[in-house]
Structure 1
Amino acid sequence: MRAALVAARAVDTARLTVGVEEEFLLLDPATMENRPAAPAVLAALPADVQHLSRREFRHSMIEMVTPVCTGLDEVGSHLRLLRTAAARSARSAGAMLAAVGATPVGEPERAVTDDPRFRAIADHYGPVVDDPAVCGCHVHVGVPDRELAVQVCNHLRPWLPVLQALTVNSPFHDGRDTGHASWRAMQLDRWPTLGPTPWFASAEDLDRTVELLVASGAMLDASLILWHARPSAGYPTVEIRVADTCPTTGDAVLLAGLARALVATAVDRIGAGHAAPQIPGHLVRAAHWNAAHAGLGGTLLDLRQGRARPAWDLVGDLMHTVTPALSRSGDLPLIEAELTRLRTEGPGATRQRDAFARSGDLRTALALTGVPDGSLIDR
């Protein structure tokens, strides 16, 4: 903890960098089933964004990655550019680029992408890999010291279920409403090393735990640290992985801004000598299940007070906690405006359900997940 405290005091929390990774589904516009068009879509991307794209686990998925950014306006500009380019490429391949967290109808072709790592995962975990594709939005926030990053993840644990509730965007599966706001989260619960971030005393404690998880077979290798928040293996960042793919750029910018403010707040608290609460893992898991099930439409488990409370009350507590950080970075007006919009519209799961209730047509509801290709302007 001493090393993290020293590192925290050297960080300028008003200028933390941020980057966003967005995974998208490729759907057949007629049937809304997943379409294995990723190779064609990636090949059709303009040359200036090719290097910002990634192959994903399934042939029906692609990932687009922003550069490292210093401001939320920059994040939003990159997201709009990348979404537009990917949507146009998808259309040229006869597919619809969908910003949705889980396969809404079906996935006839479930072979994994031809990649040594993906094949090794499929061989190790067997039929779990056969679940239909899921897509998330991951936010990287610059934290230059690994000991500090571990402590930041400890501090994030009470707040990540609230971020999850704000970003639920996958209510449909197998052509019907699952009753859950994030079916993606329910699917991922089948994987042994995904889910809530454990509490760790130090980076050494984390490394020792990972060694044991690999030895047990639950974790194929150390690269499969896929908790909701983790020190990134490849970058000097904390990576927050709890969100479904966001329906619009506005939702993704809101997530990125809140994530950065939470990390900045955690660094400030660590620098002031405050330790993170050691909340039992089973309660953290319950809070995440609650968030994935209810979204913002009911109560969430307040892990600080140990009781269920109205979801928007916890969002208010979150904003109260991160307002100093948002003010220092200049992000407060934008985040307040996006939250006001979200309170009116609801998260993606609510928007899809509302559209389905109005039309009685699942395709109409899923059309909301289609990313504009430039003929329309995405928020």
Structure 2
Amino acid sequence: MGVEEEFLLVGPDGSPVAKAQEALAASGNDNREGGTGALEPEFMEEQLETATHPHASLTALAAEIRAGRARAQDAADRVDARAVALATSPIAFTGTTVSKLRYQQARRVFGMTAREQLTSGCHVHVAVADDAEGVAVIDRIGPWLPTVMALSTNSPFWQGEDTDYASFRSQVWTRWPTAGPTRRFGTPQAYHAAIEALVATDTVLDQNMVFFDARLSPRYPTVEVRVMDVCLDPDTATLIAALVRGLVETAAREAADGHEAPDHGVELLRTAAWRAGRSGLAGDLVSPLTWRPAPAHDVVGQLVAHVRDALVDTDDLRVVTDLLGRLWSTGGGAAQQRAWFAQTGDLHGIVERALKVTHS
């Protein structure tokens, strides 16, 4: 498994600054090809992205998540900026699209959707044997992805205002025409046909702009889960990586044992995701066991129970339990941001305190 994290670049006052390419050049990390272990630009000049190498060990992955954050900060330091794990900026901004032909084309085609896409996510990749196993996994994990997203929620503020969402990033992200949950595909042929049909509409630029919540990675032999906010705390990123690997392994086992993939309908999956983005861990989530609302703590417990055997087999259960306890004690990124703002009424102060947690 591997983790990609996107970070905001902010100036001394906490406002986003357009210095990504300058920071990468100054730090010697200006390889635009990217890849595992890379530090690279994202869609906006106010962002940097890190990518870990693949790891079997959760301990090794956790160490590289922290190392990636330090690498991003080292690059930012060279241009009088800082790298912070906030999925949206609390402070009002005007985004700057990276001067890459494809990104500039996307800005022209998608208008404000592209211009306002200063959001930072977390993507988890988990290796699969082949496309058949990957599609079998994608067909089975969808009902649990809103719960995973709720654990990551870290974007309550947008353009200087409290949005009343735990993840407003998820609202901004779903403006893209191909973003969101997917139907049951059944076979790799059906999956690839769906991708080809979307590209053939000439609405998206290419297959890399098919932004399904979970997809076969265009770059690696993995299932890529893309629903999460970048996590404020590096431990939360580790927790989510463990749970996503557990979901992928559980789904692969179900498929191998001949259990048919459920077909709950995209409308239910989309509604459950909206609810997770709205309240995060602070309210009810939609339980995949009943498709009725239940307290977030209970639904997270159902997720852990669902993947328990996989967590035991990778020796991750104790770590997941410990990290969940820590997450519940803080309330997660969205709750922490709101608590900090309630104490001071200062949006700039949120960024300052978030920087300390980012690099803890």
Q: Within the alignment, does 1:286 sit opposite 2:268 as a pair?
A: no
1:43 aligns with 2:25: yes
Please, what TM-score do these two structures have when normalized by structure 2?
0.94
Q: Secondary structure at the match of 1:341?
A: helix
Asked if the contact 2:156/2:167 (under 8 Å) is kept, the reply is yes
Alpha-carbon displacement from aligned partner over 1:190-211 (angstroms, at most 9, x marks no partner): 1111112332121111122222
> Helix, strand or coil for the counterpart of 2:267?
helix
Quick check: 2:149–2:277 contact (8 Å CA) kept in 1? yes
Q: Does 1:90 align with 2:76?
A: yes
**Residue number among 207, 216, 226 corresponding to 1:231 in the alignment:** 216
What is the correspondence of 1:170-189 to structure 2 with a 5 Å cutoff? 170-189=155-174
- Give the Cα–Cα distance (whole angstroms) in 1 for the partners of residues 133 and 283 of structure 2: 34
Task: Kindly report which structure 2 residues correspond to 1:135-174, keeping only aligned pairs within 5 A, or say none.
Answer: 135-174=120-159
Which moved further from structure 2: 194-203 or 325-334? 194-203
Amino acid at match of 2:19: A
Please tell me whether the aligned partners of residues 139 and 240 of structure 1 are also in contact (alpha carbons under 8 angstroms): yes
Q: Identify the match of residue 107 of structure 2 among 118, 122, 134.
A: 122
| Residues in 2 aligned to 1:72 and 1:360: alpha-carbon distance in whole angstroms | 38
SS of the residue aligned with 1:157?
A: helix
Query: What is the distance in 1 between the residues matched to 2:332 and 2:297?
Result: 12
Aligned residue in 1 for 2:58:
72
Where does 1:260-299 land on structure 2 (aligned, <5 Å)?
A: 260-299=245-284
The 1-side partners of 2:246 and 2:12 are apart by 38
Which residue of the partner structure matches residue 324 of structure 1?
A: 309
Conserved in 1, the CA contact under 8 Å of 2:4 and 2:124? yes
Structure 1 letter corresponding to 2:20: A
Query: CA separation in 2, counterparts of 1:313 and 1:145?
Result: 34
Partner in structure 2 of residue 20 of structure 1: 3
- Residue identity over aligned pairs, in percent, reads 36
Map of 1:250 onto structure 2 = 235
Query: What's 1:33 paired with?
Result: 15
Change (3 A) 1:312 1:134: same
Residue type at the aligned position of 2:26: A
3-state DSSP class of the match of 1:199? coil
SS at match of 2:143: coil
Task: Using structure 1 for the length normalisation, give the TM-score.
Answer: 0.90
Amino acid in structure 2 at the alignment position of 1:71: S
User: Is the alpha carbon distance of 1:60 and 1:48 closer, same or farther for their aligned partners in structure 2, counting shifts above 3 Å?
Assistant: closer
Question: 8 Å contact 2:128–2:222 — kept in the other structure?
Answer: yes
CA contact (8 A) 1:172 1:183 kept: yes
Q: What is the alpha-carbon distance in structure 2 between the residues aligned to residue 213 and residue 119 of structure 1?
A: 21
Seen in structure 2, the aligned counterparts of structure 1 residues 372 and 95 have a Cα distance that, compared at 3 Å, is farther
Query: Equivalent residue of 1:120, what SS?
Result: helix
Give how far 1:274 is off.
0.7
2 CA distance for matches of 1:255 and 1:278?
25
User: What residue in structure 2 maps to residue 350 of structure 1?
Assistant: 335
C-alpha separation in 1, matches of 2:185 and 2:353 = 40
Partner of residue 182, structure 2? 197
Task: Please tell me whether the aligned partners of residues 356 and 364 of structure 1 are also in contact (alpha carbons under 8 angstroms).
Answer: yes
Cα distance in structure 1, aligned partners of 2:70 and 2:200: 44
Extract unaligned runs of 5+ from structure 2.
Answer: none
Task: Report the Cα offset of residue 132 of structure 1.
Answer: 4.3
Amino acid in the other structure paired with 2:256:
G
CA gap of 1:47–1:187, structure 2 versus 1, over 3 A, is closer
- The alpha carbon displacement at 1:47 in A equals 6.8
CA distance in 1, matches of 2:291, 2:124: 27
